[in-house]
A and B are shown apart, each in its own frame.
Chain A
Amino acid sequence: DVQMTQSPSSLSASVGDRVTITCRASQDISNYLAWYQQKPGKVPKLLIYTASNLQSGVPSRFSGSGSGTDFTLTISSLQPEDVATYYCQKYNSAPWTFGQGTKVEIK
């Protein structure tokens, strides 16, 4: 099975900072990659699909890129409401594996 590895596991950044999270697949998954945001105590929410497409209603400061095995989620200007854990997920075929998550905090 394809493994999904995120880095870092956690990060602390200041409001306004540019934040980048990386997700690496152990095999080529083309662009079948989604990003989810889970705020503390809340339900996960789809942010990005097909590696770079922003889900409706998601602020434009979020962006995704990559293809094949290496992907990134970028928050262009970190806001207090972005405190959350972010997960990548592959969906080219079963299993629909998630990365282990990246916890983003405000410094």
Chain B
Amino acid sequence: EVQLLESGGGLVQPGGSLRLSCAASGFTFNNYAMSWVRQAPGKGLEWVSVISSTGSNTYYADSVKGRFTISRDNSKNTLYVQMNSLRAEDTAVYYCTKFRLSGWLDDAFDMWGQGTLVTVSS
């Protein structure tokens, strides 16, 4: 069974940093691109970042570019996002998602983790 388990969320002050992790199991992690998607309280889905299966290609939404860094450790089947210079508007549930097809970036997200809540507030 495919599982994605996020961790690392919590309360952080504006300007602070946080690193989220996503532990993957049930599939060959190093064959799949991965993504982070967030959802502010009561709002819609916002794509945040994508990383290719090898980690050689990364993509970011304009809203987080220069502040967030996506990475992965294929030896640990784990996806990360380092979030710096956090703002109140970064407050959201952050979901780890898996691309549907192995090796593809032009594809839908077929599996989602349960999400981890990040709250940016003083």
Closest residue of chain B to A33 (Cβ to Cβ) is: B108
Within 8 A of A (CB), among B26-47: 35, 37, 44-47
What 1/0 mask marks residues of chain B from 110 to 122 whose CB sits below 8 Å from any chain A CB? 1011110000000
Complex interface: chain A residues within 8 A of B45 (CB): 36, 38, 44, 87, 89, 98, 101
* A32 interfacial contact with B, CB 8 Å: yes
Contact in complex: A95, B100 (CB < 8 Å): no
Contact in complex: B108, A87 (CB < 8 Å): no
* A62 interfacial contact with B, CB 8 Å: no
CA distance A28 to B104 in the complex (A): 20
CA distance A91 to B47 in the complex (A): 11
Complex interface: chain B residues within 8 A of A91 (CB): 106-108
Contact in complex: B110, A98 (CB < 8 Å): no
What 1/0 mask marks residues of chain B from 80 to 108 whose CB sits below 8 Å from any chain A CB? 00000000000000010000100000111
**Count of chain B residues with Cβ under 8 Å from any Cβ of A?**
21
Complex interface: chain A residues within 8 A of B106 (CB): 32, 91-93
* A74 interfacial contact with B, CB 8 Å: no
Q: Give the distance to chain B from A74, nearest Cβ to Cβ, in Å.
A: 18
Complex interface: chain B residues within 8 A of A101 (CB): 44-45
A91-B106, A91-B108, A96-B35 known; A43 vs B47 contact (CB < 8 Å): no
CA distance A46 to B109 in the complex (A): 7
| Neighbour of A94 across the interface among B50, B95, B107, CB < 8 A | B50
CA distance A94 to B37 in the complex (A): 13
CA distance A95 to B106 in the complex (A): 10
What 1/0 mask marks residues of chain A from 19 to 55 whose CB sits below 8 Å from any chain B CB? 0000000000000101010100001111001100001
Closest residue of chain B to A29 (Cβ to Cβ) is: B106
Closest residue of chain B to A99 (Cβ to Cβ) is: B44
CA distance A46 to B37 in the complex (A): 14
Complex interface: chain B residues within 8 A of A46 (CB): 100, 108-110
